[in-house]
Chains A and B, each alone.
Chain A
Amino acid sequence: MKELAFLALDVAKAYGATYADIRIIERQNEAIIIKNGRVEELGASTNYGFGIRVIADGAWGFAGSFLVERGEIERIARLAVETAKASALIKHKNVTLAPAPIITDSFTSPVQKDPFDVALQDKLAVLSRAEEVIRKTPGVSIASASMEMARHKKIFASLEGSYIEQEMTECGAGIHAIAISGNDIQERSYPNSHGGDSATAGYEFIESLMLGEHAAQIAEEAVQLLTAKECPSGEMTIILDGSQLALQVHESCGHPVELDRVLGMEASFAGTSFLTLDKLDKLRYGSPIVNINADATIPGALGTFAYDDEGIPAQRFDIVKDGMFKGYLTSRETAPILEQTSNGCMRADGWGRLPLIRMTNINLLPGNSSLAEMIDGVKDGVYLSTNRSWSIDDKRLNFQFATEIGWEIKNGKLGAVIKNPNYTGLTPEFWNSCDAIAGQDEWRVWGLANCGKGEPMQVAHVAHGAAPARFRNVKVGVGR
Chain B
Amino acid sequence: MIDVKRIEEVMRIAVEHSSADQLEVLASAKETALTRFSNNHIHQNVSETNMGLSIRAAVGQRLGYASTNRLDADSVKAMVDRATEMAAHRPPDDRFTSLPSPKATRKRDLVALSTVDCSPERRARQVEQLIRIAEAGELTAAGAFSTGYNIIGIANTLGVLATTVVSDASLKTVMMAETSSGYGSAIAVDVDDIDVEKIASEAAEKARISIDPIDIEPGPYTVILEPDAVADMVSFMAFAGFGALSLQEGRSFMKERLGQEIVSPLISIWDDAFDDHTIGLPFDFEGVPKQKVSFIENGVAKGVCYDTYTAAKEGVESTGHGLPAPNIHGPLPLNLIVGAGNSSLNDMVNGSERAILVTRFHYTNLEDPIKTTLTGMTRDGTFLIENGEIRSGIKNLRFTQSILEALSRVEQVSNERQMKDAFLGTIYVPALKIREFNFTGATQF
| Min CB gap B232→A, angstroms | 12
- Flag whether A338 is at the interface (Cβ < 8 A): no
Determine the residue in chain A with the shortest Cβ distance to B123: A86
- In angstroms, Cα B121 to Cα A95, docked, is 19
The residue from B33, B41, B172 contacting A268, defined by CB atoms under 8 A apart: B172
Q: What are the residues of chain B within 8 A of A184 when measuring CB–CB?
A: 370
Contact between B443 and A398 (Cβ–Cβ < 8 Å)? yes
A41-B326, A393-B377 as given contacts; A178 in contact with B124, CB under 8 Å: no
As a 0/1 sequence over residues 453 to 480 of chain A, the CB contacts with chain B under 8 angstroms (1 = contact) are: 0011000000000000000000100110
Contact between B86 and A43 (Cβ–Cβ < 8 Å)? yes
| Min CB gap A259→B, angstroms | 13
A63-B48, A264-B142, A398-B442 as given contacts; A185 in contact with B369, CB under 8 Å: yes
- Flag whether A121 is at the interface (Cβ < 8 A): yes
Contact between A391 and B375 (Cβ–Cβ < 8 Å)? yes
Interface residues of B in 380-416 (CB under 8 A from A): 396, 398, 400-401
The residue from B34, B69, B143, B249 contacting A48, defined by CB atoms under 8 A apart: B69
As a 0/1 sequence over residues 140 to 166 of chain A, the CB contacts with chain B under 8 angstroms (1 = contact) are: 011000000000000000000000000
- Flag whether A139 is at the interface (Cβ < 8 A): no
Q: What are the residues of chain B within 8 A of A59 when measuring CB–CB?
A: 42, 45
Contact between B47 and A67 (Cβ–Cβ < 8 Å)? no
- Flag whether A208 is at the interface (Cβ < 8 A): no
As a 0/1 sequence over residues 91 to 128 of chain A, the CB contacts with chain B under 8 angstroms (1 = contact) are: 11000000000000000000000000000110010000
- In angstroms, Cα B66 to Cα A45, docked, is 5
Determine the residue in chain B with the shortest Cβ distance to A333: B43
| Min CB gap A454→B, angstroms | 8
- Flag whether A60 is at the interface (Cβ < 8 A): yes
As a 0/1 sequence over residues 260 to 279 of chain A, the CB contacts with chain B under 8 angstroms (1 = contact) are: 00011111110100100000
Q: Tell me the count of chain A residues lying within 8 A, CB to CB, of chain B.
A: 80
Q: What are the residues of chain A within 8 A of B5 when measuring CB–CB?
A: none
Contact between B367 and A89 (Cβ–Cβ < 8 Å)? no
The 10 closest A-B pairs by CB, nearest first: A479-B400, A43-B65, A86-B120, A267-B142, A41-B326, A398-B443, A268-B142, A352-B48, A45-B67, A87-B42
Determine the residue in chain A with the shortest Cβ distance to B442: A398
A residues adjacent to B (C-beta < 8 A) = 33, 35, 38-49, 51, 59-67, 72, 76, 79, 82-87, 89-92, 120-121, 124, 141-142, 178, 180, 183-185, 263-269, 271, 274, 352-354, 388-395, 397-398, 400, 402, 420, 422, 424, 426, 455-456, 475, 478-479
The residue from B32, B121, B128, B396 contacting A456, defined by CB atoms under 8 A apart: B32
B residues adjacent to A (C-beta < 8 A) = 32-51, 63-70, 82-83, 86-87, 89-91, 93, 95, 119-121, 123-125, 127-128, 131, 140, 142-144, 146, 172-174, 176, 249-251, 253, 326, 328, 362-371, 373, 375-377, 379, 396, 398, 400-401, 438, 440-445
The residue from A60, A183, A398 contacting B377, defined by CB atoms under 8 A apart: A398
Q: What are the residues of chain B within 8 A of A63 when measuring CB–CB?
A: 46-49
Q: List 12 A-B contacts (CB under 8 A).
A: A43-B64, A43-B65, A65-B50, A66-B69, A72-B49, A86-B45, A86-B119, A87-B124, A120-B86, A264-B176, A267-B176, A478-B375
Q: What are the residues of chain A within 8 A of B47 when measuring CB–CB?
A: 62-64, 79, 83
Q: What are the residues of chain B within 8 A of A41 when measuring CB–CB?
A: 65, 326, 328
Q: What are the residues of chain A within 8 A of B46 when measuring CB–CB?
A: 61-64, 83, 353-354, 456
Q: What are the residues of chain B within 8 A of A90 when measuring CB–CB?
A: 37, 40-42, 124, 127-128, 131
Q: What are the residues of chain B within 8 A of A85 when measuring CB–CB?
A: 120-121
Q: What are the residues of chain B within 8 A of A402 when measuring CB–CB?
A: 367, 375
Q: What are the residues of chain B within 8 A of A388 when measuring CB–CB?
A: 367
Contact between B441 and A424 (Cβ–Cβ < 8 Å)? yes
Most buried by B among A84, A87, A478: A87
| Min CB gap B427→A, angstroms | 18
- In angstroms, Cα B50 to Cα A353, docked, is 12
Starting from the known contacts A59-B42, A60-B44, A389-B367, 11 additional A-B residue pairs (CB-CB under 8 Å) come to A83-B46, A90-B41, A90-B42, A263-B39, A267-B38, A267-B140, A268-B36, A268-B174, A269-B144, A456-B46, A478-B375
Contact between B251 and A180 (Cβ–Cβ < 8 Å)? yes
Contact between A141 and B249 (Cβ–Cβ < 8 Å)? yes
- In angstroms, Cα B377 to Cα A389, docked, is 14
- In angstroms, Cα B142 to Cα A180, docked, is 44
Contact between B441 and A185 (Cβ–Cβ < 8 Å)? no
- In angstroms, Cα B18 to Cα A365, docked, is 54
The residue from B43, B123, B444 contacting A60, defined by CB atoms under 8 A apart: B43
| Min CB gap A112→B, angstroms | 24
Q: What are the residues of chain B within 8 A of A264 when measuring CB–CB?
A: 38-39, 140, 142, 176
- In angstroms, Cα B49 to Cα A48, docked, is 12
Contact between B50 and A66 (Cβ–Cβ < 8 Å)? yes
